[in-house]
Amino acid sequence: MSAENLENDLGPVSAVIVLAAGGGSRMKSSKSKLLHEISGKTMLHYSVSAGAALDPAHLVVVVGKYRNEVIEELGQLSASVTTALQEEQLGTGHAVLCGLAELGDLTGEVVVTYGDVPLLSGDTLRQLVAVHRANRNCATVLTAHVADPTGYGRIVRDGERVVGIIEHRDATEEERGITEINSGIYVFDVETLRTGLAELSTDNAQGEQYLTDVVQSAHERGDRVGALITDDIWQTEGVNDRIQLARISAEMNRRLLDTWMLEGVTIVDPGSTFIDVDVDLARDVVLMPGTILQGATTIGEGAIIGPDTSLMNVEVGAGAEVVRTHGSFAIIGEGAHVGPFSYLRPGTQLGRDGKIGAFVETKNAVIGDRSKVPHLAYCGDAILDEDVNIGAGTIFANYDGVHKSPTHVGKGAFVGSNSVLVAPVDIAPGAFVAAGSAVTEDVPAGGLAIARGRQHTAEGWVVKRRPGSKSAEAALGHDGTIHPAIAESRSQQKD
């Protein structure tokens, strides 16, 4: 039977053991390697998800260095994962022994994976189990042919049969010429595994208990050992240092972008676009260069995002446009416009066809349908109903140095430019605020608040006090008429 046929009704395996006790010293990090993130999720997340795809009766992560933070992160990921402690890193074979010790009596199959191979998919593991079963193997190893096998264990074959795995450091020149490498990912029948582990020695170049020796001893006992060669060598690549972290991150991102493009999203420059795994995009979304979508961000149909925009946990409605914007924990309504150069802080909710414009910062601001905050404003702790217009340079003064207070601007209200709304203050529906006002008292519905000093003009001051200046010269040459554009604007406003 072929792997594909079996894959469909694959019964669960008994256990998945994820090896993750290594220190990750080459990361030169103060935290566990497994907590480093790729496309918004930890490496631990990926290894646990791939293992969980097999629906195992037990999923155990072998932890060592940084165990507490790994255990804490596991608690956030899944309740059904257990951990086993490997105090000292005595080798991959010893690590599996520690994992098995946690599981007690067990029959059936055990899958072994690593915590630091983030591109390994659940599908590949399912295929590996399918091959294991179809060929009635006692051990099946995932392998790949790579151009540069340096450092990896090599698969030693006798024709189709796998007869052993030899570590790079223990290999002869001839064996180092083998390009089929051990991914370190296996399925074992539990008896084969237990028997092999009981026989392990440390008689090798690294003085470690090699899990790979289980493969050779199984073959020598006459147990059937097989391999699944994957074409997708990325799925076997581990992360040991930050260079590999960047390489794997780039590949993960490339795969995510490809998936979205096949779903009908236009990505103008995949090289400068980054999308976390939990992001959701609708059809005909356009992502312009320099777009970074993080967390659980969702973008509605036909919306245009970017250039140069980063959104973290933001919900963007269909048909909206978000240009050169930095936003987090915000909601942008359908058909709304944001940017350029807007800063949407948590709690921002912009209604349908609303606008947050250039150099506007919003925080905890609920802005109604068709309402606009178009220019140079700070809008915090604000409730704006529908059809509100906030003039350029308006500041919602929400903080008195001790308390934060809210401001309400009712439906259809109009706030003139360069106003300060001193919270808590209520501007009722249809009210007007004159430009340059410092509003400290509520404005009733339909009222006009003017809260500024009256203009005082000293006639002839420049000619008297700045004689001979360019300004005085211009004043003296002027015939007293008003600029025609202003005159026309006034006459139109009278009509």
* Active-site amino acid positions: 375
Per the listing, tokens 């009509």 go with 495
Is residue 440 a contact partner of residue 422, using CB atoms and an 8 Å limit? yes
* Footprint on residues 52-71 left by Ca ion (CB under 5 A): none
The entry of Ca ion, ligand UD1, none that residue 149 binds, CB within 5 to 8 Å by partner kind:
none
Q: Is 115 in the site for Ca ion (CB under 5 A)?
A: no
Q: Which residues of 351-368 are buried (b: 16+ CB within 10 A; e: fewer)?
A: bbbbbbbebbbbbbbbbb
Q: Is 238 in the site for Ca ion (CB under 5 A)?
A: yes
Measured CA to CA, the distance from residue 118 to residue 33 in angstroms comes to 12
Measured CA to CA, the distance from residue 142 to residue 236 in angstroms comes to 8
Q: Residue type for 242, please? A: R
User: Looking at the DSSP assignment, which residues form a beta bridge with residue 158?
Assistant: 161
Q: Is 385 in the site for ligand UD1 (CB under 6 A)?
A: no
**In the complex, what is the shortest distance from the CB of residue 148 to ligand UD1, in angstroms, rounded to a whole number?**
13
**In the complex, what is the shortest distance from the CB of residue 147 to ligand UD1, in angstroms, rounded to a whole number?**
15
Closest CB to Ca ion among residues 116, 353: 116
Measured CA to CA, the distance from residue 325 to residue 341 in angstroms comes to 5
Residue nearest to Ca ion (CB): 238
Both tokens of residue 313? 């946990």
Closest CB to ligand UD1 among residues 156, 190: 156
- Share in percent of the chain as helix, strand, coil (round to 5): 25, 30, 45
Q: Quick one: which segment of 113-121, 289-297, 374-382, 446-454 binds ligand UD1 (CB under 6 A)?
A: 113-121
The entry of Ca ion, ligand UD1, none that residue 114 binds, CB within 5 to 8 Å by partner kind:
ligand UD1
In sequence order, what are the residues at sequence separation of 6 or more whose Cβ sits closer than 8 angstroms to the Cβ of residue 184?
A: 19, 92, 112, 113, 114, 117, 153, 211, 236, 238
> Which listed residue (91, 226, 391, 416) binds ligand UD1 by CB under 6 A?
91
Q: Is 92 in the site for ligand UD1 (CB under 6 A)?
A: yes
Site string for ligand UD1, 114-133 (x = CB under 6 A): xxx-----------------
Side-chain-side CA neighbours of 357 within 13 Å: the count stands at 13
Q: Is 212 in the site for ligand UD1 (CB under 6 A)?
A: yes
Closest CB to ligand UD1 among residues 84, 330: 84
Closest CB to ligand UD1 among residues 153, 333: 153
Residue 376 backbone phi and psi in degrees, to 5: 50, 50
Residue 129 backbone phi and psi in degrees, to 5: -65, -40
Distance of CA 248 to the CA centre of its chain: 15
**In the complex, what is the shortest distance from the CB of residue 357 to ligand UD1, in angstroms, rounded to a whole number?**
50
Measured CA to CA, the distance from residue 427 to residue 442 in angstroms comes to 6
Q: Quick one: which segment of 204-212, 238-246, 341-349, 438-446 binds Ca ion (CB under 5 A)?
A: 238-246
**In the complex, what is the shortest distance from the CB of residue 94 to ligand UD1, in angstroms, rounded to a whole number?**
6
> Which listed residue (89, 179, 417, 418) binds ligand UD1 by CB under 6 A?
89
Both tokens of residue 69? 């933070």
Both tokens of residue 210? 């090699």
Measured CA to CA, the distance from residue 158 to residue 464 in angstroms comes to 107
Site string for ligand UD1, 36-75 (x = CB under 6 A): --------------------------x-------------
**In the complex, what is the shortest distance from the CB of residue 20 to ligand UD1, in angstroms, rounded to a whole number?**
5
**In the complex, what is the shortest distance from the CB of residue 181 to ligand UD1, in angstroms, rounded to a whole number?**
5
Question: Cis omega before residue 424 (within 30°)?
Answer: yes
SS3 label, residue 194: helix
The entry of ligand UD1, Ca ion, none that residue 211 binds, CB within 5 to 8 Å by partner kind:
ligand UD1
In 10 A of CB 67, how many CB atoms? 18
Q: Quick one: which segment of 38-46, 175-183, 294-302, 457-465 binds ligand UD1 (CB under 6 A)?
A: 175-183
Size of the site for ligand UD1 (CB under 6 A): 27
Measured CA to CA, the distance from residue 32 to residue 22 in angstroms comes to 9
Q: Is 90 in the site for ligand UD1 (CB under 6 A)?
A: yes
Both tokens of residue 303? 């919306």
**In the complex, what is the shortest distance from the CB of residue 194 to ligand UD1, in angstroms, rounded to a whole number?**
17
Site string for ligand UD1, 224-243 (x = CB under 6 A): --------------x-----
Q: Is 19 in the site for ligand UD1 (CB under 6 A)?
A: yes
Concatenating the DSSP letter of every residue in 254-274 gives: HHHHHHHHHTT-EES-GGG-E
Q: Is 184 in the site for ligand UD1 (CB under 6 A)?
A: yes
Residues in the chain: 495
**In the complex, what is the shortest distance from the CB of residue 75 to ligand UD1, in angstroms, rounded to a whole number?**
20
Q: Is 152 in the site for ligand UD1 (CB under 6 A)?
A: yes
Q: Is 153 in the site for ligand UD1 (CB under 6 A)?
A: yes
**In the complex, what is the shortest distance from the CB of residue 143 to ligand UD1, in angstroms, rounded to a whole number?**
9
Is residue 368 a contact partner of residue 349, using CB atoms and an 8 Å limit? no
Closest CB to ligand UD1 among residues 127, 182: 182
User: What residues make contact with Ca ion under the rule CB under 5 A?
Assistant: 238
User: What residues make contact with ligand UD1 under the rule CB under 6 A?
Assistant: 19-22, 62, 86, 89-92, 94-95, 114-116, 152-153, 165, 167, 181-184, 210-212, 238
